Amino acid sequence: MLLDIISKNMKFIIGVIIGALIVFFAIKYGLVSKQEVMQYQQEAQNIIEDVQDNLSKIGATPEVLTPTGAEISCAVQLDDISAGDTLSSPISVTGVITPTEDCHWVKFEGQGGIVVMKDSDNNEISNVEILNLEGDWMNTDPFTFDATLTIDTLPTDGIGYIYFQDANQADAAESPSRIYIVPVILE
């Protein structure tokens, strides 16, 4: 029932996170027993259920913000913010974007895209931060970002969406933009 509020893309991203957690712990601790793997799977499942509960409480639906022709990307990893977190302005948004063959993220002219806070009606409610790249940007290397979003107006429903979009300048029909959306509670 809780999974119904999360789009197929979000389910895929959650599945990738579970898989990554399992692989991480298996690598970190060497060959692990089946019991240990099951324990890690349960811990990951508990985290996902907590996020789903928070999303359910706020009625968050990231697909509302997905523009026609855009694709959800799994390339973005945030350091300290998770879906359903309660945040207040100013909001420090840090993390890494790791473009891969399966998780594309377009860089262009030294920029990795933008991040902005939006409301449930897709209105921008914060400053737009450009994800500037240092050094050689003409590659597929991961890059870190550090942005501060200052909320102009709190949405009446208290729900905000941290909205990332890559720096794609191509025609959307030929090469869709990649986006990443994190629903949060604003206070």
CATH of the domain at 119: 2.60.40
User: pLDDT at residue 157 above 60?
Assistant: yes
Q: Do 36 and 79 have their domain in common?
A: no
Those residues whose C-beta lies under 8 Å from the C-beta of residue 45, and which sit 6 or more positions away, are 18
Give the mean pLDDT of 66-87: 74
Strand partners, 96: 77, 144
Give the mean pLDDT of 27-37: 60
49 lies in which domain range? 2-58
Q: Do 136 and 152 have their domain in common?
A: yes
Q: Do 85 and 114 have their domain in common?
A: yes
pLDDT interval class at 131 (50, 70, 90): confident
CA distance 120 to 62: 9
C-alpha distances in Å from residue 128, one per residue of 24, 31, 65, 75, 125: 34, 45, 16, 20, 9
Domain count, the chain: 2
CA distance 47 to 54: 11
Q: Do 48 and 88 have their domain in common?
A: no
pLDDT at residue number 5 = 43
DSSP state of 122: S
Give the mean pLDDT of 154-171: 82
pLDDT at residue number 37 = 58
- Report strand pairing: 178-186 vs 86-87: parallel
Q: Do 120 and 76 have their domain in common?
A: yes
How does pLDDT run across 92-130, given as a tens digit for each residue? 999 888 877 777 777 788 888 889 999 888 899 999 998
